Amino acid sequence: MADKVLSVRGLNAYYGNKKAVLDVNVDFYKNKITAIMGPSGCGKTTFLRCLNRIHEVNIEARARIEGDIFLNGENIARMHPILVRRRIGMVFQKPNPFPHMTIYDNVIAGYKLNGIKKKKHEFDTIVEQSLTRTALWEEVKDSLYDRGTFLSGGQQQRLCIARALAMNPDVILLDEPTSALDPIATAKIEELLNELKENVTIIIVTHNMAQAGRISDYTAFFYLGELLEYGTTEKLFTNPENEKTENFLTGRFG
């Protein structure tokens, strides 16, 4: 079994008094893709948002977390949230490149936002590498200094993945990254994730069972805020232990 990158112990997440995630214990393995599945409202997105502590940004909903999350053995609750988020990147459901920035600036937005200064040629390298890794370089290399908003939805999402990769994170969290995209763009992103896992651990929330089956090594099944079943995708899809998992996978609810 591979190394554990992220370990979650006794995690509870709240919005005010409402519990959204209940006592979750799970380990995520290095250089693997883990899919998080479950019916709408099962807490899978909230769970994902706990992993980089962005859950707690939502002050208005009185969001808070209990329990421990370890990144390579280090408790992220004791790390500065800013450091956590640099080491655990995130890609959202809706592509969200910054409309006021050029493609180039979007890729290095993490550095700009954090006020990290680098030489121009270093940034050039980061931009080229990140865009190459997301198979976007050939498509945009002549328009790096244009705004990113003229790109197609799929390209925008790959730009957002490039933006997350540019910070060289250990883990990338993806929250239903293809749900706003057409099948071709989706296929491209899936292919991309398969290549990226050589260097980075990927955790992806998905509604799409077929997608989880295609790309993930491990699958976690959430139901009403609880982690009901977790194991290799092969095992979970062919021989689920929990009846609810089976019902979900066979389309009886969800």
Helix, strand, coil percentages, rounded to 5, for the chain: 40, 25, 30
Nearer to another protein, 140 or 228 (CB): 140
Minimal distance, residue 99 CB to another protein, in Å: 4
∠ at Cα 204 (203, 207), nearest 5°?
155
Is residue 126 at the binding interface for another protein, with CB under 8 A as the rule? no
24, 227 in Cβ contact below 8 A? yes
Minimal distance, residue 83 CB to another protein, in Å: 7
Name, in order, each residue with C-beta under 8 angstroms of 53's C-beta and a sequence gap of 6 or more. 65, 76, 77, 81, 84, 85
Nearest partner of 88 among 188, 217, 174, judged by Cα: 174
- 113 - beta bridge partners? none
| Total residues binding another protein (CB under 8 A) | 32
Site string for another protein, 150-189 (x = CB under 8 A): x---------x--xx--x----------------------
Angle between helices 153-166 and 183-196 (to 10 degrees): 20
Distances in Å between the Cα of 165 and the Cα atoms of 28, 35, 72, 171 are 19, 19, 18, 9
Minimal distance, residue 86 CB to another protein, in Å: 4
- Footprint (CB under 8 A) of another protein, residues 64-123: 81-86, 89-90, 92, 94, 96, 98-101, 109-110, 112-115
Nearer to another protein, 143 or 247 (CB): 143
Q: Is the C-alpha dihedral spanning 69, 20, 95, 82 positive or negative?
A: negative
Is residue 16 at the binding interface for another protein, with CB under 8 A as the rule? no
Nearer to another protein, 160 or 249 (CB): 160
Site string for another protein, 138-157 (x = CB under 8 A): ---------x-xx-------
53, 128 in Cβ contact below 8 A? no
Nearer to another protein, 67 or 153 (CB): 153
The residues of the shown chain that bind another protein, judged by CB under 8 A, are 52, 54, 57, 60, 81-86, 89-90, 92, 94, 96, 98-101, 109-110, 112-115, 147, 149-150, 160, 163-164, 167
